[in-house]
């Protein structure tokens, strides 16, 4: 492997007139919101995995030509689905692929990260294995900018190859190109949350977010630049919080934060042309905010009720429900079987009794999602 010469940068040079938009999180949030207020459900489809491993917990989904690529866990699998949500190809861990940490789709190629082995595996559009690439760092998450440029998210782990959270890496040449966003000693000690999807994509756009940073960055082959600042207002951690923090370990750090009225981490960010969704933890509770990219307004809520009377226990899966945003204002939702209760209602032609099957929900966010 080529040992690179490192340089650490915070972002590519911004233009003087570059405007960073603010996502102002509502400090007065709604305890409960009706799904019909923010979204139109177009359909739900039972996943048919006959001959393949059933989907467990869906982590992420990508539109893929005539269907979908879905990463699920418990059990782990990457599945290609057709428009009827029938599994037609699938990758599961085997002698070559130890674990499926996260997945990236670039054109007609699918890339799978095996964090423990420090490898990226490339598959074709039929999910046939093509080749593997060694990595110099342990990555939690990644994206591909083309077929050879990987952007690796390392969390707060630093090594001889990186002093930053992001590594831009040419997988063919085994060469670190850029090392971005330096990790402070305090963040490395206290802020180590394992999350696996940090690169949401909208039409022609790739973004990056991190739990410990209140910025969302645009990502391209030149590097990164901040485009949104997440403003938690009075809920935000004081600017010097990490520098002044003194705890024995990350667990004590989190337990102490949960006793205070701070929004101290966000752990899911989804983006389409209309909207940005982010979920975050505040004082031991979990909240969701929807930000309209067109109106600049935000709504924040704690629980979500399905007032269509089809999915009876939506509140229980509020953190899992949205698994992908794409296109103008579309989304994919996921309903795990253990929480699913669907009425057999003759007035609803889509409703049927389901046993032992995962369900994907397809819909559109209302425009504008925030009035």
CB distance 79 to 70 below 8 Å? yes
Q: Residue written as tokens 């090594």?
A: 159
**For the chain, how long is the longest CA-to-CA vector?**
66
Neighbours of 229 (CB within 10 A): 14
Q: What is the 3-state secondary structure (H, E, C) of the chain?
A: CCCCCCCEECCCCCCCCCCCEEEECCCCCEEEEEHHHHEEEEEEEECECCCCCCCCEEEEEEEECCEEEEEEECCCEEEEEECCCEEEEEECCCCCCCCCCEEEEECCEEEEEECCCCEEEEECCCCCEEEEEECCCCCCEEEEECCCEEEEECCCCCCCCCCEEEEEEECCCCEEEEEEEECCHHHHHHCCCCCCCCCCEECCEEEEEECCEEEEEEEECCEEEEEEEEECHHHCCCCCHHHHCCCCCHHHHHHHHCCCCCEEEEEEEEECCCEEEEEEEECCEEEEEEEECCCCCEEEEEEEECCCCCECCHHHHCCCCEEEEECCCEEEEEECHHHCCECCCCCCCCCCCCCCCCEEEEEEECCCCCC
pLDDT band at 13 (very low <50, low <70, confident <90, very high): very low
> What's the average model confidence in pLDDT over 232-241?
84
Of 145, 56, 93, 91, nearest to 334 by C-alpha is: 56
Full residue range of the structural domain in which residue 314 is found: 19-365
Model confidence pLDDT, tens digit, residues 122-161? 999 999 999 999 999 999 999 999 999 999 999 888 888 8
pLDDT at 8: 47
Out of 8-17, 108-117, 193-202, pick the least confident: 8-17
Query: Which of 27-31, 44-48, 290-294 shows the lowest per-residue confidence on average (mean pLDDT)?
Result: 27-31
Question: What are 257's two structure tokens?
Answer: 């934060």
Residue 300 lies inside a defined structural domain of this protein: yes
pLDDT of residue 35: 84
- For the chain, how many structural domains are there in total? 1
* Least confident segment among 39-43, 70-74, 134-138, 338-342: 338-342
| Confidence category of residue 223, pLDDT binned at 50, 70, 90 | very high
Region of residue 287 (phi > 0: left; psi between -120 and 50: alpha; otherwise: beta) = beta
Task: Please check whether residue 231 is in contact with residue 240, taking contact to mean a CB–CB distance below 8 angstroms.
Answer: no
Is residue 296 in some structural domain? Answer: yes
- Residue 145: inside a domain, yes or no? yes
pTM above 0.85, yes or no: yes
Distances (CA, A) of 55 to 96, 146, 219, 341: 21, 28, 31, 17
Could you give the percent of the chain with pLDDT greater than 90?
A: 54
Q: What is the mean pLDDT of the segment spanning 314-320?
A: 60
**Residue 3 placed within a domain:** no
% of the chain at pLDDT higher than 70:
85
Whether residue 370 is contained in a domain is answered as no
Token pair for 156: 């707060």
Per the domain annotation, does 318 fall within a domain?
yes
The rounded mean pLDDT for the chain is: 85
Do 227 and 20 form a contact (C-beta atoms < 8 A)? yes
User: Which residue do the tokens 């080749």 mark?
Assistant: 131
- The answer as to whether 4 is a domain residue is no
pLDDT band at 180 (very low <50, low <70, confident <90, very high): very high
Choose between 32 and 98: higher pLDDT.
98
Asked if pLDDT for residue 355 goes beyond 90, the answer is: no
pLDDT digits (tens, 9 = 90+) for 287-314: 999 999 999 999 999 888 777 655 555 5
Angstrom distances, CA of residue 267 to CA of 106, 212, 235, 304: 24, 10, 16, 18
Quote the pLDDT of residue 371. Answer: 65
Say if residues 68 and 371 touch (Cβ distance below 8 Å): no
pLDDT exceeds 60 at position 333:
yes
The span from the CA of 303 to the CA of 291, in Å, is 17
What is the sign of the dihedral through the CA atoms of 100, 365, 265 and 213? positive
The CATH number of residue 301's host domain is 2.120.10.30
Does residue 14 sit within a domain?
no
Average pLDDT for 12-39: 76
Distance (Å, whole) CA 303 – CA 316: 8
pLDDT for position 60: 95
């Amino acid at each position: 492997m080529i040992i690179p010469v490192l340089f650490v940068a915070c972002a590519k040079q911004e233009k003087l007139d570059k405007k960073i938009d603010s996502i102002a999180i509502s400090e007065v949030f709604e305890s409960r919101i009706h799904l019909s207020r923010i979204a139109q459900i177009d359909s739900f489809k039972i996943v048919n995995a006959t001959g393949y491993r059933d989907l467990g917990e869906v982590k992420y989904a990508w539109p893929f030509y005539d269907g979908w690529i879905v990463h699920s866990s418990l059990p782990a699998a990457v599945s290609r689905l057709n428009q009827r949500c029938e599994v037609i190809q699938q990758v599961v861990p085997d002698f070559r692929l130890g674990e499926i940490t996260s997945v990236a789709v670039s054109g007609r190629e699918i890339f799978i990260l095996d964090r423990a082995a420090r490898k990226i595996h490339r598959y074709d559009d039929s999910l046939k294995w093509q080749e593997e690439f060694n990595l110099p760092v342990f990555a939690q998450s990644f994206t591909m900018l083309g077929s050879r440029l990987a952007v690796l998210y390392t969390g707060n782990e630093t090594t001889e190859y990186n002093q930053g959270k992001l590594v831009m890496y040419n997988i063919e040449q085994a060469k670190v190109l850029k090392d971005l966003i330096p990790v402070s000693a305090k963040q490395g000690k206290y802020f180590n949350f394992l999350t696996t999807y940090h690169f949401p994509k909208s039409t022609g756009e790739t973004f990056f977010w991190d739990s410990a940073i209140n910025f969302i960055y645009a990502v391209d082959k030149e590097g990164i630049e901040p485009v949104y600042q997440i403003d938690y207002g009075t809920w935000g951690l004081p600017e010097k919080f990490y520098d002044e923090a003194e705890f024995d370990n990350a667990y004590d750090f989190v337990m102490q934060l949960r006793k205070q009225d701070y929004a101290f981490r966000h752990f899911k960010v989804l983006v389409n042309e209309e909207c940005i969704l982010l979920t975050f933890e505040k004082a031991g509770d979990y909240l969701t905010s929807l930000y309209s990219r067109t109106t600049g307004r935000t709504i924040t809520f704690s629980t979500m009720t399905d007032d269509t009377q089809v999915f009876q226990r939506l509140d229980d899966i509020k953190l899992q429900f949205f698994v992908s945003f794409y296109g103008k204002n579309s989304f994919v939702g996921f309903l795990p079987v253990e929480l699913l209760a669907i009425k057999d209602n003759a007035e609803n032609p889509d409703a049927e009794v389901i046993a032992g099957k995962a369900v994907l929900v397809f819909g559109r966010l209302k425009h504008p999602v925030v009035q």
